[in-house]
Amino acid sequence: MSNPDFAEYIYSYFMKYLPLQRGLSQNTISSYSCSLMLFFQYCKSEASISYEKLVLNRIDKHLIENFLLWLETERNNCAASRNQRLSALKSLFLYIQSESIIYTALCRDILSIPEKKTPLLPPKYLSVDEMEALFSIPDIKTKHGRRDIVLLLLLYDSAARVSELINLKAGDAFFGKTPTVKLFGKGSKTRIVPIASKTADMLYGYMKENKINKLDQFLFENHSHNKLTTAGVSYILKKYVEIGKQLYPEMFLLTATPHLLRSTKASHLIQGGANIYYIRDFLGHSSVVTTERYARNNPEVVRSAISKASSDLIGDSEYYNENEKSTMLDFLKSL
C-alpha cells in the first residue's frame, strides 16, 4: 500500500484527529481550516501550484516561509495573525509527523520555523462611564430594545466570548440568590460564572416575555428564529456604539467588537482589585499568564499603585507653603 499523501492526511486530520482525539470545538477547527485554505490560495496564485498538485514532496520550509511573508506583505496581516496561521500549519505537520516517518525531516523543518515576536500592547477597554452610556441607549419600550439590552448586559457581565454567548440556552441560566450562567468555551470546556442580580432580573423577564422556557431553546435568535450569529451580535453592538458616538462625541473612540466587552469586564475586575486567579477562571483562560496582561498593562492599575505608594511616602503635608507657591508661579511665568 502506498503512503498516504497530503490530501489524505488533511482529511484524517480534520475529520478524525482534531474533533475526536483532541476534542477541539468547531470554531477552532474552522480557524485551522481557514489557515490551510489561505495556504492553498498562496500556492495557487504565487507558486503556481494548484490544490490538486499540492503533494508533500512539493512542500518545504522555504514555501511555508514565503507564505508567511505573503500574509504580511500582501494581505497586511499583523505579526499575531501571521503567528496564528503558522500555528495552525504546525499543528497539521505535527500530526503528519506522528503518522509517518517518511516525512519526519520535512515536518521537523516546518516545526522549526520561529514565531515572530509581537509587541505586548495594553488591553483595550471601555470606561465605566462608556459602559453606562452604552446601556442607556437601547429603547427598552420596544421588544427589540429589551432583547438588545439583555444581550449587551449579559455579554459584558459574564465576559463571555461571542461564540459562548450565541450558544447559550434556557437551561444554561440559573436564577435565585446567586444567579449564574453556564458557558461552553474553548476545547469543549464549560464554566459557570456569576452574573449581577440586575442582569439576572432582566434576563428572566426577557425569557418570560419571549416564552423561552424549553431547556434546549437558544436565548438569542434572529428575525428568522434561528440562533443569532457572531455577525448578528457584532451588528447589534456596533449599532449602539455608533449612536453613542453621536450622543457622546468624546466617548467610544475604540473599534467596537464583542471581544472588547469581554476585555472591558476583565479590566474593570482588575481595577476593582479582584484576585487574578479568580479572573482567570472567570474568563476561562487555560493559564494565568494570559490573564496577567490585563494587570501588567492596565494604566489605571499602575496609576493606583503609584498613587498609593506616593501617598504612603509623602504623607499629608504640602511640600510648598503658599508664599513659595506664589514665588514659583511668578518664576515660571517669567520664563
Residue carrying C-alpha cell 426577557: 206
| pLDDT given at position 225 | 82
| Mean pLDDT within 117-133 | 85
Report yes or no on 1 lying in a domain: no
Query: Rounded distance, CA 70 to CA 39, Å?
Result: 10
Alpha carbon distance 225, 111 (integer Å): 45
Q: How many domains does the chain have?
A: 3
For cell 458616538, the residue is 245
Q: Once rounded to an integer, what is the mean pLDDT over residues 193-199?
A: 91
Task: Name the least confident of 19-33, 189-203, 299-313.
Answer: 299-313
Same domain, 253 and 132: yes
- CA–CA separation, 107 and 111 (whole Å): 6
Asked whether residue 264 is assigned to any structural domain, the reply reads no
Q: How far apart are the first and last CA of the chain?
A: 89
- Determine the pLDDT at residue 291: 75
- Does residue 115 carry a pLDDT above 60? yes
The residues facing 169 across adjacent strands are: 218
Q: How far apart are CA 269 and CA 251, in angstroms?
A: 21
DSSP state of 220: -
How confident is the model over 246-262, as pLDDT tens digits? 999 999 999 999 999 99
Place of cell 459602559: 131
Mapped onto helix, strand or coil, the DSSP state of residue 66 is: helix
Give per-residue pLDDT as tens, 222-250: 888 889 999 999 999 999 999 999 999 99
pLDDT at 85: 95
Alpha helices in 136-257 (DSSP H): 143-157, 162-166, 197-209, 230-247
Residues 135, 104: one domain?
Answer: no
Domain-located, residue 173: yes
Q: Do 143 and 171 fall into the same domain? A: yes
Claim to verify: residue 74 and residue 132 sit in the same structural domain: no
Q: Which of 83, 111, 139 is the last residue of a domain?
A: 111
Q: Which residues pair with 174 in a beta bridge?
A: 180
Other CB atoms within a 10 A radius of the CB of residue 303 amount to 11
Structural domain includes residue 266 = no
Beta strands in 269-324 (DSSP E): none
Q: Which of 201, 228, 259 is the last residue of a domain?
A: 259
Specify the pLDDT at position 42. 95
* Residue 151 one-letter amino acid: L
Is residue 162 in a domain? yes
Query: What are 267-317's pLDDT values in tens digits?
Result: 888 888 887 888 888 888 877 767 776 666 555 554 554 445 444 444 444
Domain range spanning residue 312? 303-334
* Residue 6, helix vs strand vs coil: helix
pLDDT score recorded for residue 306:
42
For residue 284, being part of any structural domain is answered with: no
Angle subtended at Cα 122 by Cα 157 and Cα 82, rounded to the nearest 5 degrees: 100
Indicate if 84 and 140 belong to the same structural domain: no
Question: In the predicted model, is pLDDT for residue 318 greater than 50?
Answer: no
CA angle 263, 266, 271 (to 5 degrees): 125
What is the phi/psi pair of residue 193, to 5°? Answer: -120, 145
190 and 252 both lie in a single domain: yes
Confidence of residue 147 (pLDDT cuts 50, 70, 90): very high
Contact 155, 165 (CB under 8 A): yes
Amino acid (1-letter code) at residue 296: R
Evaluate whether residue 268 is within a structural domain: no
- Residue 26 domain-assigned? yes
The answer on pLDDT for 36 being more than 90 is yes
> Rounded to the nearest 5 degrees, what angle is found at the Cα of 325, between the Cα atoms of 321 and 331?
145
Same domain, 132 and 251: yes
User: Do 231 and 312 lie in a common domain?
Assistant: no
Confidence of residue 26 (pLDDT cuts 50, 70, 90): confident
Give the residue, 285 or 96, on which the prediction is more confident: 96
Of 86, 111, 136, the residue at which a domain comes to its end is 111
Task: Round the average pLDDT of the chain to a whole number and report it.
Answer: 85
Please indicate whether residue 285 or residue 175 has the higher confidence score (pLDDT). 175
DSSP per-residue codes, 116-165: PP---PPPP---HHHHHHHHTSS-TTSHHHHHHHHHHHHHHHTT--HHHH
95 and 147 share one domain: no
**Are residues 94 and 162 located together in one domain of the fold?**
no
| H or E element in which residue 312 lies | helix 299-314
> How many Å separate Cα 116 from the centre of its chain?
20
What CATH number is associated with residue 132? Answer: 1.10.443.10
Is 106 in the same domain as 132?
no
How many C-beta neighbours within 10 Å does residue 106 have? Answer: 18
pLDDT at position 245 = 95
Chain-centre distance for alpha carbon 333: 50
Indicate if 97 and 149 belong to the same structural domain.
no
Among the residue ranges 30-34, 138-142, 252-256, 275-279, the one predicted with the least confidence is 275-279
- Report the CATH number that the domain containing residue 41 is assigned in CATH: 1.10.150
